[in-house]
Structure formats: structure tokens, C-alpha cells
């Protein structure tokens, strides 16, 4: 690559020093590392256009990156090339109360958008565990979910329109500010979850929702995660679609308690966090209903209701920290992201426990139980090659299990590099070919995040 020409084009926004390159050689995925040839900090859409035109002419890979908090190595530059960093494009351009929408630059974090919406009595519902750091652009690129998915849906339900730079350098505007708009193919939906392989998002119009004024939470402890899963199925089976239905197994409860120290019952085999939000007495009724349902299944240890907002926030915070907190338990901790149909949840978690036993590895399981979305985190000693090999075997078991259950290899983290080997089994050969044809329509020279989905 002609780095000099690139620097002439974009000046000091281009970094090629080894220190910067090193800092961008990884994202939040363990075990994946590759050093880029250059890093570009975009400060405007025009910077992105210039860079993509340059990369397209010179056939250089461009890997777009937000906060770098993704867990599937989607932003690791395995083919070399340029890391396009969006973090400086972090302004909220507009919040329209009457239209209930926001227009944002891609690197606005979830928490900043949600806080800004709160000033208008609104909220931005998708709230991944990493919401303090993850960006809306990254959320869209991976179709991030979060803790409120069951009731509110995930990122794809909130993207109204996008400004996108294609692999050719052309700029398109998809969708609009309206809820209804069926003029042409739904390119917006296609871009959601495309992991930077179809275009670079430079602006997003996202829907907001009225902010609930009341929220209530409770926590139930069970002997096993399978017992908790039975309660989850019973809750939704009773016609309740709560805002929060999250669980943690004992490995996770212990790790979280070590960090947050909020008095969780570390002797229990599983913790189920349930909660509802809204604006009426219905919130109280639903929360109590959930507490009552939890008190029934076999294996229940205790059910308590959070006394106040502080207590509820602590519980949510604890759940949110489960993923990184598990790093306390081992020097290598790989987090996965499978989804299974909810009625099969209990069977799935029981089978993960079997995998843990067979592979002689500790696996901490937590997840968005209501969505059937599990995050098994496999733990190993990074300095023990045999154990690391067993870890990979366990991950393979887990993906196969998910597919055997009619589930999926990723619910919200994305495919990236980590799960690419399993993609074909999930979607089939014909769809893989279709992915490639779609990719070449957006990015004929294959410069956008190559070696990943659609390549």
C-alpha cells in the first residue's frame, strides 16, 4: 500500500506508527490478533469517502471499527489493511420528540444516546451489556441485542434509516424518518448485522420509545440453571413479556459478587433476574406474577423483590458485568453467544453442563433467558496448551449443540472470524452464495472487512 499517498490524502488523521498499529491489533475477542498497516481516524463523512475511494482504487482492505468491544473478532484485521476508526464521529445531531427519533453519528455510545433521549422523556431500548462503551454504529453493524430484547426487540427494530458509504465510495441514504416506507428493497435491514462488509455507516436515524416511569425487579435463586429455565418458560407461557428475564449460573454469580459485592447468594446454582417496566399498576401486578411463578418450579431456593431503584440497579449492573467479571476466574475466557428456542432452554443448559464435565473445563453460563440467548463462557489456563485445545473442542460442542437444537451460532455478537466456520451449516450453501453475490453488489472489489461474512 502507498502509505505516503494515503497520508497526503488525509493528513494527520492517518497513523502508521507501530504504537498505534499495536493498539488496533485486537478487539475484545480473545485469541485473535493481527496488525493493520495503517489506522485512519475519520472526522467527517468526506474523510470516509476519500478513504474508501483510495482503498477501492488500490484494493486495500478497510476494517471499520467503533469502540472495539465486539466479541467475534469482527474488527481484527486478519487480511491487513486499514483500520477505519469512527470514534471521533460521536455527536448526537438531533432528537425529535414528536417524531420519536434521533439522528446520530456512528460513534455515539448507547448510554449517551439513551441519556440524551431521557431528557425528552424518551429512551433508546437496545442496551447491550457493554452499553457504556459500545457505539450505535457498532450496534447496527452487529445487530446488538441486550437485556431488554424480549419486550423491546433488538437493534434491527430501531433503525429507520442510514447514511452509508459503499465499497465504491458512493454515498447512499437508506430508509427515512418515517415508520412506514416501502419504497424499494429494505437495504436498511440488510445493513443491520452486516459487520462492516457492505458499507460504512456514517449517520443513523434511530427510533426512540416513550420512557417508562415505573420499573420493578425481583430475583429468584434456583438449585440449577435448568430449574431457572423452567421458570423462564413458565413466565412467558403465562402470557407475560417482561422487560428483563436474565439468568446467571453459580460460576457467574461468584465472579460478579467478587467485583460488585452486593450480597448475591453465592451458594445457589442459578440466579434469575426478572423485571417489568411501564407506566401503570400493571407493572406491579406483572412483577408479582413473575415472583409467584418463580416460587413454584422444583429447585427454587428463594424469591425476593428488589426494595427500591438502587437495589434494582445493583442487580442489573451485576448482570451486565458478568462477561468481563468472569475473566477473574481464568487467564483465558471465551464467551459464546448461542440462541435456542425458549422451550429447549432447560435441555440446552443441562447439555452445556455435560460438555463442561466431558471436556473437564469450567463453563460459566449467563444470558438473556427470555430470548433463549445463552452466553456460555469457557474458561481455561492460557499457558496450558492441552487445556486450550479442550476449550476449542468445547466451543465446537456448543455450536453443534445450538444447531442441533434448531438454534443459532450467534444471537447478538455477530459472526466475525470466530464463528465463520459454522455459518454455512447454519444458513446453507445456497444462502452462502447469495451472501457473496450481495457482497459484490455493495463492494465489487471486496475491500470492506474481507475474510468475514460474505467473502
**Site of interaction with another protein (CB under 8 A):** 18-20, 22-30, 41, 67-69, 85, 87-88, 90, 107, 109, 111, 130, 132-133, 256, 258-260, 321, 323-325, 327-328, 331, 333, 382
- Contact criterion met (CB below 8 Å) for 382 and 388: yes
Q: What share of the chain is helix, strand, coil (3-state, %, to 5)?
A: 40, 25, 40
DSSP string, 287-344: HHHHHHHHTSSTTEEEEEE--SHHHHHHHHHHHHTHHHHGGGG-SEEEE--EE--GGG
Handedness of CA 71, 74, 77, 82 (dihedral sign): negative
188 versus 314: smaller Cβ distance to another protein: 314
26 versus 174: smaller Cβ distance to another protein: 26
Q: Give CA–CA dist 422/396, Å, rounded.
A: 9
Q: How far is the CB of 31 from another protein (least distance, A)?
A: 11
Backbone φ, ψ for residue 381 (5° rounding): -85, 120
Kind and range of the H or E element at 388? helix 385-404
Q: How far is the CB of 190 from another protein (least distance, A)?
A: 27
Instruction: From 73, 69, 89, 85, select the one nearest 30 (Cα to Cα).
Output: 73
26 versus 205: smaller Cβ distance to another protein: 26
207 versus 388: smaller Cβ distance to another protein: 388
Q: Give CA–CA dist 146/334, Å, rounded.
A: 18
66 versus 149: smaller Cβ distance to another protein: 66
Q: How far is the CB of 218 from another protein (least distance, A)?
A: 23
235 versus 334: smaller Cβ distance to another protein: 334
Looking up cell 483465558 gives 332
Q: How far is the CB of 34 from another protein (least distance, A)?
A: 12
Q: Count Cβ atoms within 10 A of the Cβ of residue 437 and give its class: 0-12 exposed, 13-18 middle, 19 or more buried.
A: exposed
146 versus 242: smaller Cβ distance to another protein: 146
Q: Give CA–CA dist 146/150, Å, rounded.
A: 9
- Contact criterion met (CB below 8 Å) for 168 and 154: no
30 versus 149: smaller Cβ distance to another protein: 30
40 versus 165: smaller Cβ distance to another protein: 40
Q: How far is the CB of 342 from another protein (least distance, A)?
A: 28
Q: How far is the CB of 196 from another protein (least distance, A)?
A: 17
Q: Give CA–CA dist 373/408, Å, rounded.
A: 9
Q: Give CA–CA dist 181/183, Å, rounded.
A: 6
- Contact criterion met (CB below 8 Å) for 127 and 139: no
Amino acid at each position: 500500500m502507498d502509505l505516503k499517498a494515503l497520508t497526503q490524502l488525509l493528513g494527520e488523521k492517518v497513523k502508521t506508527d507501530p504504537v498505534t498499529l499495536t493498539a488496533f491489533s485486537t478487539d475484545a475477542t480473545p485469541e485473535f490478533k493481527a496488525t493493520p498497516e495503517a489506522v485512519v481516524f475519520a472526522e467527517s463523512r468526506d474523510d470516509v469517502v476519500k478513504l474508501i475511494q483510495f482503498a477501492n482504487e488500490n484494493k486495500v482492505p478497510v476494517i471499520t471499527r467503533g469502540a472495539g468491544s465486539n466479541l467475534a473478532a469482527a474488527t481484527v484485521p486478519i487480511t491487513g489493511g486499514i483500520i477505519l476508526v469512527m470514534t471521533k464521529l460521536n455527536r448526537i445531531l438531533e432528537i425529535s420528540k414528536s417524531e420519536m427519533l434521533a439522528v446520530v453519528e456512528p460513534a455515539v455510545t448507547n448510554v449517551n444516546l439513551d441519556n440524551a433521549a431521557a431528557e425528552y422523556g424518551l429512551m433508546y431500548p437496545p442496551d447491550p451489556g457493554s452499553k457504556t462503551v459500545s457505539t450505535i454504529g457498532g450496534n447496527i453493524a452487529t445487530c446488538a441485542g441486550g437485556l431488554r430484547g424480549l419486550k423491546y426487540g433488538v437493534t434491527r427494530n430501531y433503525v429507520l434509516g442510514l447514511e452509508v458509504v459503499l465499497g465504491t465510495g458512493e454515498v447512499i441514504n437508506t430508509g427515512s424518518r418515517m415508520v412506514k416506507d416501502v419504497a424499494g428493497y429494505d437495504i436498511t435491514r440488510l445493513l443491520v448485522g452486516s459487520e462492516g462488509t457492505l458499507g460504512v455507516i456514517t449517520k443513523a436515524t434511530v427510533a426512540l420509545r416513550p420512557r417508562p416511569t415505573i420499573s420493578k425487579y425481583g430475583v429468584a435463586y434456583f438449585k440449577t440453571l435448568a430449574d431457572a429455565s423452567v421458570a423462564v418458560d413458565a413466565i412467558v407461557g403465562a402470557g407475560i413479556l417482561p422487560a428483563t428475564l436474565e439468568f446467571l449460573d453459580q460460576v457467574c454469580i461468584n465472579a460478579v459478587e467478587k467485583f460488585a459485592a452486593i450480597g448475591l447468594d453465592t451458594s445457589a446454582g442459578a440466579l434469575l433476574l426478572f423485571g417489568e417496566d411501564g407506566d401503570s399498576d400493571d407493572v406491579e401486578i406483572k412483577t408479582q406474577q413473575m415472583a409467584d411463578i418463580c416460587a413454584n418450579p422444583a429447585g427454587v431456593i428463594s424469591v425476593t423483590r428488589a426494595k427500591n431503584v438502587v437495589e434494582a440497579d445493583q442487580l442489573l449492573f451485576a448482570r451486565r458485568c458478568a462477561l468481563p467479571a468472569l475473566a477473574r476466574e481464568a487467564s483465558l475466557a471465551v464467551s459464546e453467544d448461542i440462541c435456542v428456542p425458549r422451550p429447549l432452554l432447560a435441555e440446552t443448559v443441562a447439555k452445556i453442563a455435560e460438555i463442561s464435565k466431558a471436556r473437564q473445563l469450567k463453563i460459566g453460563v449467563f444470558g438473556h433467558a427470555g430470548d433463549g440467548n445463552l452466553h456460555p463462557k469457557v474458561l481455561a489456563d492460557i499457558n496450558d496448551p492441552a487445556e486450550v485445545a479442550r476449550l476449542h473442542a468445547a466451543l465446537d460442542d456448543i455450536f453443534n449443540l445450538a444447531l442441533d437444537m434448531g438454534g443459532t451460532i450467534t444471537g447478538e455478537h455477530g459472526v466475525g472470524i470466530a464463528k465463520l466456520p459454522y455459518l454455512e451449516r447454519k444458513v446453507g450453501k445456497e444462502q452462502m452464495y447469495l451472501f457473496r453475490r450481495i457482497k459484490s453488489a455493495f463492494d465489487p472489489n471486496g475491500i470492506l472487512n474481507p475474510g468475514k461474512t460474505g467473502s
